[in-house]
Amino acid sequence: MEYNVHTLPNGIRLLHVPSASTISHACIIINTGSRDEPEGKAGLAHFIEHLIFKRTEKRSTNQILNRLESVGADLNAYTTKEYTCVHASFLNPYLDRTLDLFNDIIFHSTFPEEEMDKEKSVILDEIASYLDQPEEAINDDFEDMLFAGNALGNNILGTTESVRHFTRKDVIDFRRANYRTNEIVVAVLGNYSLNGFFKKGSKYFADVEENAPSLHRTRPAVLNPTNTTIYKPIMQSHCILGKQTYSTYDEQKAGLMLLNNYFGGNGMSSVLNLQIREKYGIAYTIESNFSPLSDSGIFSVYFGTDKEKHTRALSLIFKEMKRLVDNPLNQLQLQKAKNKFIGQIALSEENRIGLIISMAKSLIDHNKIDSLEQVFEKINKVTTKEIAEIADEVLNPEELNVFTFSPILE
């Protein structure tokens, strides 16, 4: 897909992606997330993402929330371990309104104490809600165990204790240290001329004060695998097994993405779904995931099942892993896996807001954006030998952490 990039003197990059649609999609991505929080301040990045909608130097909370919604637009935000993102979808005439709001909430929020107190209560409710959903909570606890001793293990929402003790100084210090202008991308996919968008982008972001402290992140140590069970008042057994794997810069990333999709990724035809759910009817939800990070990655398998079926489910998963290691994909199987994965990627481009966010992240991570053809080329270059080596390294049961939420014994 065609795109153009312009870097402002303060380091902020403007990403322009043309589209003939009457609907535009925009985002502002900041290369900071929960892994950048100081010790004892888990949840601070997410807390700030909430607070930026509460008051700015020129707008009240209601004015912020109505600025785009009053013209039928959609505005939202999220925080991950490494990113903070604000995004919007809107009719083409409202680009100025969107960029102005992005600038206002990111760079001119005032973080009043009374709003902080209210938002702490909202986030504490959000944490409680997640704790009531074991299929969500187990992911956070698993990553806390996997990255023990590193900020990557921080729960993105934080803890009840950390959230209660956030101060306005914590918020201001974190924003100053981590909202680096050279690590910010403002991206728009819409029916605008290149010069027209760059002029508008410059209008709203060129005057932002340059802020470019060094980015310091500690690579997580790889710990010995553990098998942990936590008993909870729940009805089902929930389990995650996995390990640290390849980063977003690793040459084997494409191979593991392909293997993961074949083994337990999207669709009903994955190995895990066919063998565990369809053949034996053991688990309603079973899937594998691969999440590359800037200096590490996570490969995991999740399933939920009745307590009495837990051991068998785990045994069957290990059996399928061993099958892939002992009997690597042949050329025909690999080509089928590639065709499926390539088709899914192509279809995902129909999600236009997801597409522009993905492109902005790629610009931050790699300072370039691969075309679909280049992405497909990387996938098609993966060989049976590479897949076999990756399977041997990643799917060894003896090297996997196993983390379980189990119903309390009666």
Q: Are strands 13-18 and 4-7 parallel, antiparallel or unpaired?
A: antiparallel
User: pLDDT, tens digit, for every residue of 305-358?
Assistant: 999 999 999 999 999 999 999 999 999 999 999 999 999 999 999 999 999 999
- Please check the confidence at residue 291 and state whether its pLDDT lies above 70: yes
Confidence of residue 133 (pLDDT cuts 50, 70, 90): very high
**Which sign does the torsion angle of CA 84, 261, 311, 318 carry?**
negative
User: pLDDT, tens digit, for every residue of 36-51?
Assistant: 999 999 999 999 999 9
Is 210 strand, coil or helix? coil
User: pLDDT, tens digit, for every residue of 70-100?
Assistant: 999 999 999 999 999 999 999 999 999 999 9
Between CA 288 and CA 20 the distance in angstroms is 36
pLDDT given for residue 131 in this prediction: 85
Confidence of residue 253 (pLDDT cuts 50, 70, 90): very high
Report the chain's mean pLDDT, rounded to a whole number: 96
Query: Could you tell me the strand order of the sheet in which 4-7 lies?
Result: 4-7, 13-18, 184-190, 23-30, 84-91, 74-79
Measure the CA angle with vertex 254, ends 248 and 255; round to 5°: 125
Q: What are the residues whose beta carbons fall under 8 Å from the beta carbon of 125, sequence distance 6 or more?
A: none
- Per the CB < 8 A criterion, the answer to whether 288 and 245 are in contact is no
Tokens of 152: 């990557």
* CA contacts within 13 A on the Cβ side of 409: 2
Tokens of 383: 């060989």
User: pLDDT, tens digit, for every residue of 157-189?
Assistant: 999 999 999 999 999 999 999 999 999 999 999
- Per the CB < 8 A criterion, the answer to whether 217 and 247 are in contact is no
Between CA 221 and CA 230 the distance in angstroms is 24
- Per the CB < 8 A criterion, the answer to whether 379 and 262 are in contact is no
pLDDT given for residue 29 in this prediction: 98
- Per the CB < 8 A criterion, the answer to whether 49 and 84 are in contact is yes
Amino acid at 118: K
- Per the CB < 8 A criterion, the answer to whether 101 and 366 are in contact is no
- Please check the confidence at residue 376 and state whether its pLDDT lies above 60: yes
pLDDT given for residue 266 in this prediction: 87
- Please check the confidence at residue 409 and state whether its pLDDT lies above 80: no
Between CA 40 and CA 47 the distance in angstroms is 14
Between CA 310 and CA 46 the distance in angstroms is 34
> What structural domains does the chain harbor?
4-205 (3.30.830.10), 227-407 (3.30.830.10)
Which position has the token pair 């990070």? Answer: 293
**Which sign does the torsion angle of CA 372, 378, 379, 381 carry?**
positive
Residue 240: φ, ψ to 5°: -125, 135
Strand partners, 298: 244, 291
pLDDT given for residue 132 in this prediction: 87
What letter does residue 10 receive in the DSSP assignment? T
Confidence of residue 410 (pLDDT cuts 50, 70, 90): low
Helix spans in 132-281 (H): 134-146, 160-164, 168-178, 194-205, 253-264, 271-272
Between CA 347 and CA 377 the distance in angstroms is 17
pLDDT given for residue 39 in this prediction: 94
